[in-house]
Amino acid sequence: MKQIPLQKAPFVRIVVPFIIGIVCQYKIPFLPYLWIIPSILGGMFVGLFYLNKNRKYAFAHYKARPYFGIGMFFIWMVVGMWVLKVHHFHQHTPSPDHFPYLQVQLVSEPRHTNNHKLFEAVLLYAIHPDSCKNLQKQNALLYFAKNNSSQELQKGDVLLIKNDLIPIKSPGNPDEFDYAAYMRIKHTYHMQFVSDKWTFLGHLDHFSIREFSSKQKIKLQNILEQTFLTEREQDFLKAVLLGITDDLWEEQRDLYQQAGLSHLLAISGLHVGIIAFIVLWLLYPLKRLGYNRIRFFIVVWALWVYAFMCGLSPSVVRACIMFSVIMGAYLLKRQSYSVNSLAIAAFLMLVYDPYYLWDIGFQLSFLSVLLLLSAAPFFPKGVKNKVCNYIFLLIWTTTVIQIGTMALTVYYFHNIPVYSILCNLVMVPLFPVLISGGILLLLAGNSDIQPYLSDVFHFFFHQSDSIIRSIVNLPGALAENIWIDPVIVVIWLIAIFLITLWLYTQNTNYVITLLAVMSAFLFYLLVNQTKYSSEISIYNHQGGISVNVIDYPRNYVITTDELFAMESLEKVAQNHWMKIKATPPTLITDSLATNLKVSLPFVQFGKRRILLLNDESWKNKVSSTRLKIDLLVVGREYKERIADVTPLYDIDQVVLSADVNPIVASGFEKECRSLRIKCHNTADQGAWCLQINAY
């Protein structure tokens, strides 16, 4: 393999410390002057380089070269920190607290939930009878009840609403998906359920490139909805051509996830590559005429037009940036290295929005391309038959991506599609046909040939769908409920990066570093062998009052709530159960086991005695001695005071179920403080968990 020194790929040496700086600033926000440390180190090493550079002997200058590289590493770390700090500063604007009214503008098309219409909105002004505060367009989620008044609401409307904003908070359940952190990445910190008392102030249409792009996407969406395709086929094309995945059938998502084809439903470099190939093929006569550079210029232009049609989706933009860099180098007659182009695309996108670094699509897309670039030189050569060569190439690339991205996909989705290679072998050759068919349908519009094109597309879609279903229905198609430690993911990514550097530079120092990293990883596994213990948990969920007892590995759920919804508890606790390798939950109402005794409303686990208080069954009971209660769990149906049960029970701690009315919960907390009883409100403080030895 040809050796490529990193001097030929300068952006690789820039983007790595730049990303490290972003991560450090994000993970350690409580140290506002953290950037000073790498600044001092960077200045010190660059200074050492220039001090040695002025010496007479070239040998001293040669020895000083690493100083400059180390110094620039720290300097680019500082740049990454400041990019995030500046971006963070512009997103954190004045708070609208203590202002009774808000002027807002709806900035997204509505999304429909069971009972509400959801709009993304920007907060323009906080209004008080005596003053007005400019909120500098903070983002918020607004939920409107589905009724006649909200039916006509649309993107661009400006409203006056009552200020009932609440912060989007983390649920605080162990190992649950952190929705608040996800929304922070999207620069959204507040939400509100809007009452019917709002005032329509007008409609604003501000011209912007992104707004223009969104309108074009809506026009193309309307064209697809007027075709003779089934609703399922229309939703599929809207996803793979326009990036509109909200309407995609849940059954379709599950099918492609089990088949390892989820990447086909999200617009990425594969889709852009197919578009580029189609345009290159159509413009092949220009190559024969000697206008190859014009041909590639038109391809770049066509890709950016496609990006605009897709609403400037981040995944499409990064693919277009990389392709543009490669084609730009060709047009300027400059040598371009793909790994450098990839680094440029990453750098430009992270400068624009450093929070892209936590986007799943961003991570998987760049990792997949990096893997392909690393593995390309090792593709088996010597197969002369074009069909066999294509099959080998497809198997090779699919295997490389499947293995290389396995840690990330398992971390996010907790499963492994076993037959992914087989499904990709079938679907990837058919996918360009489906993409081409969708483009032809868009171009045909309402013409006479549109019904015939719909029939052709229906045939290929139905055949591909049938093949995927037959593969997915094979035994053991999906390995589920797999938990992976985040440290393993980080080590995996570092190893891939070091292997890539070694393959490109043939520098054995990267192999030595890789061995050191793997040794550190093995040491981590040895000293962090987790031994899971038994535990008692009350989760933050709206399914009703419940106690989750893990008598490891057995998993029990106890409740007195007749309306208790196990689905609600499983949704918030599934990841934690997966992590500790607990058995599926069992709902019990009585038990006389050695460690767990249940006689509702009493539960005893080991030496801990728990009382579930969710009705008035305690009334009219008299006891000469107070019963010791380690944990009193209060549900929404309890209407009395905590003090009313203290004559019967000696309570050590109170835990309030998340479905207790917030006003009532506030009263309980105040009462517990006066009684000197510890109180934990799961709705505000997250899940209450206690790890114990039940024996």
User: HEC profile for 541-586?
Assistant: CCCCCCEEEEECCEEEEECCCCCCCHHHHHHHHHHHHHHHCCCCCE
* Residue 507 contacts residue 293 (beta carbons within 8 Å): no
CA torsion through residues 371, 373, 377, 383, sign: positive
Closest listed residue to residue 668, CA positions, set 634, 692, 695:
634
Domain co-membership, 225 together with 114: no
DSSP states of 247-313 as a string?
TS-HHHHHHHHHTT-HHHHS--HHHHHHHHHHHHHHTHHHHHTT-HHHHHHHHHHHHHHHHHHTT--
Q: Is residue 596 part of a domain?
A: yes
Q: Is residue 235 part of a domain?
A: yes
Instruction: Please check the confidence at residue 57 and state whether its pLDDT lies above 80.
Output: no
Instruction: Please check the confidence at residue 64 and state whether its pLDDT lies above 70.
Output: no
Arithmetic mean of pLDDT, 559-568: 81
Most trustworthy range by pLDDT among 185-189, 278-282, 471-475, 677-681:
677-681
The CB density around residue 682, as the number of other CB atoms within 10 Å, is: 24
Arithmetic mean of pLDDT, 203-211: 72
Give phi and psi for 267, each to the nearest 5: -60, 130
Residue that finishes a domain, picked among 181, 206, 231: 206
Both tokens of 346, joined, read 């990453």
Instruction: Please check the confidence at residue 375 and state whether its pLDDT lies above 70.
Output: yes
Domain co-membership, 321 together with 425: yes
The least confident of 192-196, 504-508, 624-628, 680-684 is 504-508
Closest listed residue to residue 104, CA positions, set 112, 96, 92:
96
- Amino acid making up residue 354: P
Domain co-membership, 506 together with 547: no
Most trustworthy range by pLDDT among 360-364, 506-510, 602-606:
602-606
Higher pLDDT, 552 or 630: 630
Burial class (CB within 10 angstroms; exposed 0-12, middle 13-18, buried 19+) of 160: middle
Closest listed residue to residue 176, CA positions, set 578, 596, 476:
578
* Residue 454 contacts residue 228 (beta carbons within 8 Å): yes
Geometric angle at alpha carbon 384, from 381 and 388, rounded to 5°: 85
Q: Is residue 636 part of a domain?
A: yes
Domain co-membership, 82 together with 157: no
Domain co-membership, 445 together with 378: yes
DSSP states of 405-457 as a string?
THHHHHHHH--EETTHHHHHHHHHHHHHHHHHHHHHHHHHTTSTTHHHHHHHH
Arithmetic mean of pLDDT, 463-467: 90
Bridge partners, residue 534, by sequence: 692
The CB density around residue 458, as the number of other CB atoms within 10 Å, is: 15
Closest listed residue to residue 612, CA positions, set 647, 572, 561, 646:
561
pLDDT digits (tens, 9 = 90+) for 269-321: 778 888 888 888 888 888 888 888 888 888 888 888 888 877 777 667 777 87
Q: Is residue 355 part of a domain?
A: yes
Burial class (CB within 10 angstroms; exposed 0-12, middle 13-18, buried 19+) of 218: middle
Q: Which residues contact 621 (CB under 8 A, 6 or more apart)?
A: 648
Q: Is residue 571 part of a domain?
A: yes
Hunting for tokens 């200058």 — which residue is that? 61
Arithmetic mean of pLDDT, 149-160: 86
Domain co-membership, 555 together with 445: no
Both tokens of 619, joined, read 């009334």
Arithmetic mean of pLDDT, 203-231: 80
Q: Grade residue 670 by pLDDT with cuts at 50, 70 and 90.
A: very high
Residue that finishes a domain, picked among 206, 237, 267: 206
Q: Is residue 377 part of a domain?
A: yes
Instruction: Please check the confidence at residue 555 and state whether its pLDDT lies above 70.
Output: yes
Full residue range of the structural domain in which residue 234 is found: 211-479
Q: Grade residue 632 by pLDDT with cuts at 50, 70 and 90.
A: very high
Q: Is residue 1 part of a domain?
A: no
What is the pLDDT at residue 577?
A: 92
The least confident of 385-399, 447-461, 483-497, 652-666 is 385-399
- How is residue 152 annotated by DSSP? T
CA atoms within 13 A on the CB side of 623: 13
Residue that finishes a domain, picked among 496, 527, 558: 527
Q: Grade residue 370 by pLDDT with cuts at 50, 70 and 90.
A: confident
Q: Give percent above pLDDT 90 in the chain.
A: 15
What is the pLDDT at residue 59?
A: 47
Question: Using CA atoms, how far apart are residues 676 and 655, in angstroms rounded to an integer?
Answer: 14
Domain co-membership, 178 together with 229: no
DSSP reduced 3-state for 1: coil
- Amino acid making up residue 608: R
Domain co-membership, 673 together with 548: yes
Arithmetic mean of pLDDT, 104-116: 83
How close are the terminal C-alpha atoms of the chain, in Å?
A: 62
Question: Using CA atoms, how far apart are residues 309 and 343, in angstroms rounded to an integer?
Answer: 25
Per the structure, the count of domains in the chain is 5
268: Cα separation from own chain's centroid: 16
Closest listed residue to residue 203, CA positions, set 59, 285, 107, 294:
107
CATH number at residue 626: 3.60.15.10
Question: Using CA atoms, how far apart are residues 522 and 519, in angstroms rounded to an integer?
Answer: 5
Q: Give percent above pLDDT 70 in the chain.
A: 91
Q: Has this prediction a pTM greater than 0.85? A: no
What is the pLDDT at residue 89?
A: 63
Pairing of strands 166-167, 188-194: antiparallel
Distances from the Cα of 78 to the Cα of 6, 27, 48, 394, angstroms: 21, 15, 19, 41
Average pLDDT, the chain: 83
Arithmetic mean of pLDDT, 216-244: 86
Pairing of strands 157-162, 199-203: antiparallel
Both tokens of 526, joined, read 């040895």
Domain co-membership, 395 together with 311: yes
Domain co-membership, 84 together with 109: no
Q: Is residue 96 part of a domain?
A: no
Question: Using CA atoms, how far apart are residues 611 and 592, in angstroms rounded to an integer?
Answer: 16
Give phi and psi for 571, each to the nearest 5: -65, -40
Burial class (CB within 10 angstroms; exposed 0-12, middle 13-18, buried 19+) of 124: buried
Instruction: Please check the confidence at residue 95 and state whether its pLDDT lies above 70.
Output: no
Arithmetic mean of pLDDT, 416-420: 86
Domain co-membership, 452 together with 551: no
Question: Using CA atoms, how far apart are residues 227 and 208, in angstroms rounded to an integer?
Answer: 30
Domain co-membership, 60 together with 111: no
Arithmetic mean of pLDDT, 163-190: 86
CA torsion through residues 15, 16, 20, 21, sign: negative
CA torsion through residues 518, 521, 525, 527, sign: positive
Pairing of strands 627-629, 649-651: parallel
Question: Using CA atoms, how far apart are residues 383 and 594, in angstroms rounded to an integer?
Answer: 67
Instruction: Please check the confidence at residue 5 and state whether its pLDDT lies above 90.
Output: no
CA torsion through residues 381, 383, 386, 390, sign: negative
